[in-house]
Structure 1
């Protein structure tokens, strides 16, 4: 029998193909991505990670097993500290201060995505939260591995690619995949279906996040 997470990944095959085909993602390797769009993305991603880290902290608090609690507590810290160091390296090159980043409003797609994640984190069972947060882990790893094959002529983009293609990041993702499989091992299809629905929804939001950056999305009114 295939692992449940294999079923999850197969369920978003079309979405992942659309992500790889998106001009923002392709532009990271062929050098065509305007740096303004990448800067927009990094700023919005820094805002996103503040809420994503809170979701991981809630996953830690609600974990039914101690090792999982430790895992997600550590990942919440990593999202705030390690990922922030990557972003800060970009911000220093662009001359952006922490105060400027904090004062940046959430773009519509970012606000919708983080609001969805936080709602699941507060309202739904632990396994559903796993389904909601897993795409951010997993899709970035798969995108990183895919883009690493071509590399990038832009050192900023290459730094980003190398982070998510690294074996260190791969170990983080594999750990969450394993937790997800274990968490739903004895669940009936009805409970698994809810996990699958969140996984598909936040995978769509991943595409939308890159698309918003490509368009440098702003509020229409």
Structure 2
């Protein structure tokens, strides 16, 4: 029997292929990515990660069993602690303090992505919330794996790649995918459809997030 994760990946694979081909990621691996583009990406993440942590906490609230509550509560805390520390170091690499980063208004895509995640996780079922957050876990893991062998001649970019391609992050994602398969076994066709719809939307936001950094997106008015 095919695992539900395979069906979900089929829904996202075309988007993922476009992500891998995006000049942001090709520039990351060959070292040609302009530093001001990566700086914009880091500033976007500084606005997005708190919303992502809140979305994970909302999943913990809706989780159907203690193990799942613990998983998403721990991942929410890890996002605040570990990824926050990573991005503080990245901000410092550009000479930007946290207070200065917060003074930059959240760009449209970062704000839209975070808002969509919070809406899906607070207003939807646990399965719908899971559909919304899985692409962020899984696409970063697949991108990290794909780029790890190539790495980057730029030490800053290589460090970012190693963070998401590394074994610890891959194990975290594997646990979430196991849970996804378990949850999907008890869903109706309509419920699976809503989960997949959320996943497709956030996968698109993943592409948009890198593209927004590439364009150094700002508010047009």
TM-score for the superposition, normalised by structure 2: 0.98
Q: What residue number does 2:178 align with?
A: 178
Structure 1 segments unaligned to the other structure (5+ residues): none
What do you get for the CA RMSD once the two structures are aligned?
Answer: 0.8
Alignment of 1:74 with 2:37, yes or no, is no
Q: What residue number does 2:92 align with?
A: 92
- Report the CA distance between 1:11 and its aligned residue: 1.2
Q: What residue number does 2:20 align with?
A: 20
Q: Superposed, which structure 2 residues align to 1:12-161 within 5 Å?
A: 12-161=12-161
Deviation digits for residues 136-168 of structure 1 (CA, Å, limit 9, x no counterpart)? 000000000111111101001000000000000
Structure 2 segments unaligned to the other structure (5+ residues): none
- Report the CA distance between 1:103 and its aligned residue: 1.4
SS in 2 for 1:12: helix
Q: What residue number does 2:167 align with?
A: 167
SS in 1 for 2:213: helix
- Report the CA distance between 1:121 and its aligned residue: 1.2
Q: What residue number does 2:219 align with?
A: 219
C-alpha distance in 2 between matches for 1:136 and 1:12 = 11
> 4+ residue stretches of structure 1 with deviation over 3 A?
none
Q: What residue number does 2:188 align with?
A: 188
CA contact (8 A) 2:47 2:111 kept: no
TM-score for the superposition, normalised by structure 1: 0.98
What is the number of equivalent residue pairs in this alignment? 221
C-alpha distance in 1 between matches for 2:205 and 2:10 = 17
Deviation digits for residues 69-108 of structure 1 (CA, Å, limit 9, x no counterpart)? 0000000011111001111111222111110111121111
C-alpha distance in 2 between matches for 1:220 and 1:109 = 12
C-alpha distance in 2 between matches for 1:132 and 1:208 = 15
CA contact (8 A) 2:59 2:129 kept: yes
